[in-house]
Protein backbone atom coordinates (compact mmCIF):
# COMPACT_ATOMS: atom_id res chain seq x y z
CA UNK A 1 0.00 0.00 0.00
CA UNK A 2 1.41 3.38 -1.01
CA UNK A 3 0.84 6.20 1.43
CA UNK A 4 1.53 9.89 0.97
CA UNK A 5 1.32 12.47 3.71
CA UNK A 6 2.29 16.08 4.42
CA UNK A 7 3.87 17.25 7.64
CA UNK A 8 4.05 20.79 9.02
CA UNK A 9 7.69 21.87 8.85
CA UNK A 10 9.58 24.90 7.70
CA UNK A 11 11.58 24.13 4.60
CA UNK A 12 15.00 25.54 3.82
CA UNK A 13 14.80 27.34 0.48
CA UNK A 14 11.07 26.72 0.46
CA UNK A 15 8.30 28.92 1.71
CA UNK A 16 5.53 27.24 3.64
CA UNK A 17 2.59 29.58 3.79
CA UNK A 18 -0.24 27.33 4.90
CA UNK A 19 1.23 24.89 7.43
CA UNK A 20 0.82 21.37 6.12
CA UNK A 21 1.13 18.20 8.15
CA UNK A 22 1.08 14.73 6.78
CA UNK A 23 0.11 11.77 8.88
CA UNK A 24 -0.92 8.22 8.21
CA UNK A 25 -4.40 7.24 9.29
CA UNK A 26 -6.64 4.31 8.52
CA UNK A 27 -9.78 6.27 9.33
CA UNK A 28 -11.97 7.78 6.64
CA UNK A 29 -12.04 11.55 6.91
CA UNK A 30 -15.01 13.87 6.44
CA UNK A 31 -13.06 16.07 4.04
CA UNK A 32 -12.65 14.69 0.53
CA UNK A 33 -9.62 14.19 -1.70
CA UNK A 34 -9.65 13.57 -5.42
CA UNK A 35 -6.56 12.37 -7.28
CA UNK A 36 -5.84 13.44 -10.83
CA UNK A 37 -7.06 10.18 -12.38
CA UNK A 38 -10.43 10.54 -10.64
CA UNK A 39 -10.93 14.26 -11.26
CA UNK A 40 -13.18 15.73 -13.87
CA UNK A 41 -11.26 17.04 -16.85
CA UNK A 42 -12.28 20.55 -15.88
CA UNK A 43 -10.84 20.30 -12.35
CA UNK A 44 -7.70 18.52 -13.50
CA UNK A 45 -6.99 21.07 -16.22
CA UNK A 46 -7.66 23.98 -13.87
CA UNK A 47 -5.23 22.69 -11.22
CA UNK A 48 -2.56 21.75 -13.76
CA UNK A 49 -2.90 25.08 -15.54
CA UNK A 50 -2.62 27.04 -12.29
CA UNK A 51 0.44 25.07 -11.17
CA UNK A 52 2.10 25.46 -14.58
CA UNK A 53 1.41 29.19 -14.52
CA UNK A 54 3.06 29.49 -11.11
CA UNK A 55 6.05 27.44 -12.27
CA UNK A 56 6.38 29.61 -15.40
CA UNK A 57 6.57 32.70 -13.20
CA UNK A 58 9.33 31.07 -11.17
CA UNK A 59 11.15 30.19 -14.40
CA UNK A 60 10.93 33.82 -15.51
CA UNK A 61 11.93 35.17 -12.07
CA UNK A 62 8.58 36.98 -12.03
CA UNK A 63 8.18 37.35 -8.27
CA UNK A 64 5.74 40.24 -8.71
CA UNK A 65 3.52 38.10 -10.92
CA UNK A 66 3.62 35.26 -8.40
CA UNK A 67 2.83 37.65 -5.57
CA UNK A 68 -0.25 38.80 -7.47
CA UNK A 69 -1.66 35.24 -7.39
CA UNK A 70 -0.69 34.45 -3.79
CA UNK A 71 -3.32 34.37 -1.05
CA UNK A 72 -3.64 37.85 0.44
CA UNK A 73 -2.59 36.90 3.95
CA UNK A 74 0.90 36.07 2.70
CA UNK A 75 1.22 38.30 -0.34
CA UNK A 76 1.62 41.19 2.09
CA UNK A 77 4.96 39.82 3.33
CA UNK A 78 6.58 38.41 0.23
CA UNK A 79 10.30 39.14 0.62
CA UNK A 80 11.32 35.61 1.64
CA UNK A 81 9.38 34.10 -1.25
CA UNK A 82 10.90 36.61 -3.63
CA UNK A 83 14.37 35.43 -2.60
CA UNK A 84 13.40 31.79 -3.08
CA UNK A 85 11.99 32.58 -6.54
CA UNK A 86 15.18 34.38 -7.59
CA UNK A 87 17.39 31.55 -6.35
CA UNK A 88 15.29 28.88 -8.03
CA UNK A 89 14.93 30.78 -11.29
CA UNK A 90 18.68 30.86 -11.77
CA UNK A 91 18.78 27.06 -11.38
CA UNK A 92 15.94 26.19 -13.79
CA UNK A 93 16.54 28.68 -16.59
CA UNK A 94 15.65 27.09 -19.94
CA UNK A 95 13.93 24.07 -18.37
CA UNK A 96 10.88 22.30 -19.73
CA UNK A 97 7.99 22.22 -17.27
CA UNK A 98 5.94 19.05 -16.73
CA UNK A 99 3.05 18.85 -14.27
CA UNK A 100 3.61 15.50 -12.56
CA UNK A 101 0.90 15.25 -9.91
CA UNK A 102 -2.16 17.19 -8.76
CA UNK A 103 -4.53 16.60 -5.85
CA UNK A 104 -7.84 18.29 -5.11
CA UNK A 105 -8.58 18.67 -1.40
CA UNK A 106 -12.12 19.75 -0.56
CA UNK A 107 -12.65 21.15 2.94
CA UNK A 108 -15.70 23.24 2.08
CA UNK A 109 -17.70 21.82 5.00
CA UNK A 110 -14.88 21.88 7.56
CA UNK A 111 -16.19 23.32 10.82
CA UNK A 112 -14.17 25.39 13.29
CA UNK A 113 -12.98 23.71 16.47
CA UNK A 114 -14.62 24.15 19.91
CA UNK A 115 -12.44 27.23 20.48
CA UNK A 116 -13.72 28.83 17.27
CA UNK A 117 -10.36 28.48 15.54
CA UNK A 118 -9.94 26.60 12.23
CA UNK A 119 -9.86 22.83 12.60
CA UNK A 120 -7.33 20.41 11.18
CA UNK A 121 -8.31 19.36 7.67
CA UNK A 122 -7.73 15.67 7.02
CA UNK A 123 -8.05 13.97 3.65
CA UNK A 124 -7.83 10.33 2.61
CA UNK A 125 -7.11 9.85 -1.09
CA UNK A 126 -7.51 6.57 -2.97
CA UNK A 127 -5.06 6.39 -5.85
CA UNK A 128 -6.21 5.02 -9.19
CA UNK A 129 -9.24 3.31 -7.61
CA UNK A 130 -6.94 0.89 -5.79
CA UNK A 131 -6.14 0.13 -2.17
CA UNK A 132 -3.27 2.64 -2.33
CA UNK A 133 -3.89 5.77 -0.29
CA UNK A 134 -2.69 9.33 0.12
CA UNK A 135 -3.49 10.98 3.44
CA UNK A 136 -3.23 14.72 3.98
CA UNK A 137 -3.68 16.40 7.35
CA UNK A 138 -3.48 20.21 7.30
CA UNK A 139 -3.67 21.96 10.68
CA UNK A 140 -5.67 25.13 11.32
CA UNK A 141 -7.27 24.98 7.90
CA UNK A 142 -10.04 27.46 7.04
CA UNK A 143 -12.97 25.91 5.20
CA UNK A 144 -12.45 25.92 1.45
CA UNK A 145 -10.97 24.07 -1.49
CA UNK A 146 -7.25 23.36 -1.79
CA UNK A 147 -4.93 21.78 -4.31
CA UNK A 148 -1.41 20.38 -4.27
CA UNK A 149 0.74 20.08 -7.39
CA UNK A 150 4.24 18.90 -8.27
CA UNK A 151 5.83 20.40 -11.39
CA UNK A 152 9.15 19.06 -12.69
CA UNK A 153 11.61 21.40 -14.40
CA UNK A 154 13.48 19.13 -16.82
CA UNK A 155 16.14 19.49 -19.48
CA UNK A 156 18.80 21.34 -17.47
CA UNK A 157 22.02 20.05 -15.92
CA UNK A 158 20.15 19.65 -12.61
CA UNK A 159 16.40 18.90 -12.84
CA UNK A 160 14.20 20.45 -10.17
CA UNK A 161 10.79 19.83 -8.65
CA UNK A 162 8.64 22.90 -8.02
CA UNK A 163 5.75 22.03 -5.72
CA UNK A 164 2.83 24.29 -4.86
CA UNK A 165 0.08 24.32 -2.29
CA UNK A 166 -2.92 26.22 -3.70
CA UNK A 167 -6.17 27.60 -2.34
CA UNK A 168 -9.21 28.33 -4.46
CA UNK A 169 -10.42 31.90 -4.15
CA UNK A 170 -12.68 34.33 -6.01
CA UNK A 171 -9.96 34.83 -8.63
CA UNK A 172 -9.28 31.13 -9.09
CA UNK A 173 -6.39 29.06 -7.72
CA UNK A 174 -3.91 31.08 -5.66
CA UNK A 175 -0.53 30.07 -4.30
CA UNK A 176 -0.43 29.12 -0.62
CA UNK A 177 2.99 27.45 -0.53
CA UNK A 178 6.10 27.12 -2.71
CA UNK A 179 8.64 24.29 -2.34
CA UNK A 180 11.53 24.09 -4.83
CA UNK A 181 14.01 21.21 -4.66
CA UNK A 182 16.78 19.82 -6.85
CA UNK A 183 16.36 16.23 -8.05
CA UNK A 184 20.08 15.42 -8.29
CA UNK A 185 23.20 16.11 -6.24
CA UNK A 186 26.75 16.02 -7.63
CA UNK A 187 25.35 14.51 -10.81
CA UNK A 188 23.42 11.62 -9.23
CA UNK A 189 19.75 11.08 -8.42
CA UNK A 190 18.17 9.74 -5.27
CA UNK A 191 18.01 6.12 -6.38
CA UNK A 192 21.76 6.16 -7.03
CA UNK A 193 22.42 7.40 -3.48
CA UNK A 194 20.01 4.81 -2.09
CA UNK A 195 21.82 2.02 -3.95
CA UNK A 196 25.20 3.32 -2.78
CA UNK A 197 23.95 3.61 0.81
CA UNK A 198 22.92 -0.05 0.75
CA UNK A 199 26.28 -1.07 -0.70
CA UNK A 200 28.12 0.93 1.96
CA UNK A 201 26.00 -0.65 4.69
CA UNK A 202 27.00 -4.12 3.48
CA UNK A 203 30.65 -2.99 3.44
CA UNK A 204 30.34 -1.80 7.07
CA UNK A 205 30.87 1.83 6.06
CA UNK A 206 28.24 2.90 8.55
CA UNK A 207 28.90 6.64 8.61
CA UNK A 208 29.02 7.02 4.85
CA UNK A 209 25.96 4.80 4.43
CA UNK A 210 23.93 6.78 6.97
CA UNK A 211 24.81 10.06 5.28
CA UNK A 212 24.12 8.75 1.77
CA UNK A 213 20.71 7.58 2.94
CA UNK A 214 20.06 11.17 4.02
CA UNK A 215 20.98 12.45 0.57
CA UNK A 216 18.76 9.83 -1.06
CA UNK A 217 15.80 10.85 1.07
CA UNK A 218 16.31 14.54 0.30
CA UNK A 219 16.34 13.89 -3.45
CA UNK A 220 13.50 11.38 -3.60
CA UNK A 221 11.20 13.47 -1.44
CA UNK A 222 9.52 16.05 -3.74
CA UNK A 223 9.36 18.40 -0.76
CA UNK A 224 10.21 18.05 2.90
CA UNK A 225 6.48 17.89 3.52
CA UNK A 226 5.85 14.62 1.71
CA UNK A 227 6.30 11.03 2.75
CA UNK A 228 5.32 7.75 1.07
CA UNK A 229 5.64 4.01 1.55
CA UNK A 230 8.66 4.12 -0.77
CA UNK A 231 10.25 6.85 1.32
CA UNK A 232 9.12 5.24 4.58
CA UNK A 233 11.11 2.16 3.61
CA UNK A 234 14.13 4.34 2.88
CA UNK A 235 13.71 6.12 6.21
CA UNK A 236 13.57 2.79 8.04
CA UNK A 237 16.78 1.70 6.30
CA UNK A 238 18.36 5.03 7.25
CA UNK A 239 17.44 4.51 10.90
CA UNK A 240 18.77 0.95 10.82
CA UNK A 241 22.03 2.16 9.25
CA UNK A 242 22.75 4.70 12.01
CA UNK A 243 26.14 4.02 13.64
CA UNK A 244 26.02 2.84 17.28
CA UNK A 245 27.38 6.22 18.41
CA UNK A 246 24.14 7.75 17.13
CA UNK A 247 21.81 5.23 18.74
CA UNK A 248 20.23 8.04 20.77
CA UNK A 249 20.27 10.44 17.85
CA UNK A 250 22.30 13.61 17.49
CA UNK A 251 21.07 16.90 18.89
CA UNK A 252 21.88 19.61 21.41
CA UNK A 253 20.70 17.24 24.15
CA UNK A 254 22.53 14.21 22.74
CA UNK A 255 25.66 15.52 21.00
CA UNK A 256 28.20 13.32 19.26
CA UNK A 257 31.41 13.83 21.25
CA UNK A 258 34.66 13.35 19.31
CA UNK A 259 38.16 13.85 20.71
CA UNK A 260 40.92 15.49 18.71
CA UNK A 261 44.53 14.30 18.64
CA UNK A 262 45.34 16.67 21.51
CA UNK A 263 42.44 15.42 23.62
CA UNK A 264 40.15 18.38 22.95
CA UNK A 265 36.50 17.35 22.90
CA UNK A 266 34.22 18.55 20.10
CA UNK A 267 30.47 18.33 20.58
CA UNK A 268 28.62 17.86 17.30
CA UNK A 269 24.88 18.57 17.45
CA UNK A 270 24.08 17.90 13.80
CA UNK A 271 25.51 15.84 10.96
CA UNK A 272 24.21 15.78 7.41
CA UNK A 273 25.06 16.34 3.75
CA UNK A 274 25.42 19.37 1.50
CA UNK A 275 25.58 19.65 -2.29
CA UNK A 276 25.80 23.43 -2.66
CA UNK A 277 29.27 23.33 -4.22
CA UNK A 278 28.11 20.88 -6.94
CA UNK A 279 31.40 19.02 -6.87
CA UNK A 280 31.98 15.48 -8.10
CA UNK A 281 30.97 14.36 -4.61
CA UNK A 282 28.71 15.81 -1.95
CA UNK A 283 30.06 17.30 1.28
CA UNK A 284 29.54 16.38 4.91
CA UNK A 285 28.03 19.22 6.93
CA UNK A 286 28.59 19.22 10.69
CA UNK A 287 27.17 21.55 13.32
CA UNK A 288 29.48 22.21 16.25
CA UNK A 289 28.23 23.51 19.59
CA UNK A 290 30.53 26.15 21.06
CA UNK A 291 30.29 28.54 24.00
CA UNK A 292 31.49 31.57 22.03
CA UNK A 293 32.56 32.14 18.44
CA UNK A 294 35.59 34.31 19.20
CA UNK A 295 37.41 36.22 16.46
CA UNK A 296 37.59 34.95 12.89
CA UNK A 297 41.09 33.48 13.24
CA UNK A 298 40.20 31.52 16.37
CA UNK A 299 36.85 30.40 14.95
CA UNK A 300 38.43 29.12 11.74
CA UNK A 301 41.13 27.22 13.65
CA UNK A 302 38.54 25.60 15.90
CA UNK A 303 36.49 24.59 12.83
CA UNK A 304 39.45 23.07 11.02
CA UNK A 305 40.57 21.27 14.19
CA UNK A 306 37.04 19.90 14.59
CA UNK A 307 37.13 18.68 10.97
CA UNK A 308 40.39 16.88 11.63
CA UNK A 309 38.91 15.24 14.73
CA UNK A 310 35.77 14.14 12.87
CA UNK A 311 37.58 12.70 9.86
CA UNK A 312 40.25 11.21 12.09
CA UNK A 313 37.60 9.38 14.10
CA UNK A 314 35.73 8.20 10.99
CA UNK A 315 38.31 7.98 8.17
CA UNK A 316 35.87 6.25 5.78
CA UNK A 317 34.38 9.70 5.14
CA UNK A 318 37.46 10.69 3.13
CA UNK A 319 36.59 8.23 0.37
CA UNK A 320 32.92 9.03 -0.10
CA UNK A 321 32.77 12.82 0.26
CA UNK A 322 34.37 15.84 -1.36
CA UNK A 323 34.94 17.68 1.90
CA UNK A 324 33.44 19.00 5.12
CA UNK A 325 31.41 22.06 6.01
CA UNK A 326 31.84 22.96 9.68
CA UNK A 327 29.34 25.33 11.32
CA UNK A 328 30.17 26.62 14.81
CA UNK A 329 26.93 27.62 16.51
CA UNK A 330 26.10 29.84 19.47
CA UNK A 331 22.51 30.53 20.44
CA UNK A 332 21.28 33.86 19.08
CA UNK A 333 24.18 34.35 16.65
CA UNK A 334 24.84 33.50 13.04
CA UNK A 335 27.02 30.37 12.76
CA UNK A 336 30.63 30.61 11.65
CA UNK A 337 31.13 28.38 8.60
CA UNK A 338 34.28 26.85 7.14
CA UNK A 339 34.58 24.45 4.18
CA UNK A 340 37.61 22.36 3.24
CA UNK A 341 38.19 19.57 0.75
CA UNK A 342 39.25 16.25 2.24
CA UNK A 343 42.83 16.66 0.98
CA UNK A 344 43.02 19.94 2.96
CA UNK A 345 42.00 18.31 6.23
CA UNK A 346 45.00 16.99 8.13
Residue after which a domain boundary falls, among 242, 263, 283 = 242
3-state class (DSSP) for residue 80: helix
Number of domains the chain contains:
3
Q: Are 283 and 323 in contact (CB under 8 A)?
A: yes
- What is the rounded distance in angstroms from the CA atom of residue 320 to the CA atom of residue 342? 10
Q: Do residues 256 and 234 both lie within one domain?
A: no
Q: What percent of the chain has pLDDT over 90?
A: 65
Q: Do residues 26 and 121 both lie within one domain?
A: yes
Residue after which a domain boundary falls, among 242, 257, 272 = 242
Q: Is the pLDDT of residue 12 over 60?
A: no
Residue after which a domain boundary falls, among 131, 159, 182 = 182
Q: Do residues 18 and 101 both lie within one domain?
A: yes
Q: Do residues 141 and 39 both lie within one domain?
A: yes
Question: Please, is 193 exposed, middle or buried when counting C-beta atoms within 10 Å of its C-beta (0-12, 13-18, 19+)?
Answer: buried
Q: Do residues 316 and 248 both lie within one domain?
A: yes
Q: Tell me if the pTM is above 0.85.
A: no
| pLDDT computed for residue 19 by the predictor | 38
pLDDT-wise least confident of 2-11, 39-48, 251-260: 2-11
Q: Do residues 173 and 223 both lie within one domain?
A: no
Q: Are 122 and 139 in contact (CB under 8 A)?
A: no
Most confident segment among 11-25, 52-66, 155-169? 52-66
Query: Cα separations (Å) of 214 from 50, 328, 331?
Result: 32, 21, 26
| pLDDT computed for residue 133 by the predictor | 57
Q: Do residues 109 and 140 both lie within one domain?
A: yes
Q: Are 137 and 21 in contact (CB under 8 A)?
A: yes
| pLDDT computed for residue 52 by the predictor | 98
The model's pLDDT over 61-114, given as tens digits with 9 standing for 90+, comes to 999 999 999 998 889 999 999 999 999 999 999 999 999 989 898 888 888 888
Q: Which residues neighbour 249 within 8 Å (Cβ) at sequence distance 6 or greater?
A: none
Domain range for residue 299? 244-346
Q: Do residues 249 and 316 both lie within one domain?
A: yes
- What is the rounded distance in angstroms from the CA atom of residue 50 to the CA atom of residue 61? 17
Please, which pLDDT band fits residue 11 given cuts at 50, 70 and 90? very low
Q: Do residues 233 and 314 both lie within one domain?
A: no
- Give the end-to-end CA distance of the chain in Å, rounded to a whole number: 49
Q: Do residues 74 and 139 both lie within one domain?
A: yes
Q: Do residues 273 and 291 both lie within one domain?
A: yes
Q: Do residues 193 and 169 both lie within one domain?
A: no
Amino acid sequence: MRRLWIRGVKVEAAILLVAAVVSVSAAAYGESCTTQSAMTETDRNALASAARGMAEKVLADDAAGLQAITISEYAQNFSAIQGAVANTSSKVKGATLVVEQVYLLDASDLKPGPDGKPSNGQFLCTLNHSIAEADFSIPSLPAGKYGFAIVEARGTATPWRLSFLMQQGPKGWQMAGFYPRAMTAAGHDGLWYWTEARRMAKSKEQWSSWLYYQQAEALLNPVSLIQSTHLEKLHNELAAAAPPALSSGISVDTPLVVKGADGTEYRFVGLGVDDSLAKEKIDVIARLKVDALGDAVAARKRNTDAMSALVGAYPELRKSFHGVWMLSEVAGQNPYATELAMNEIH
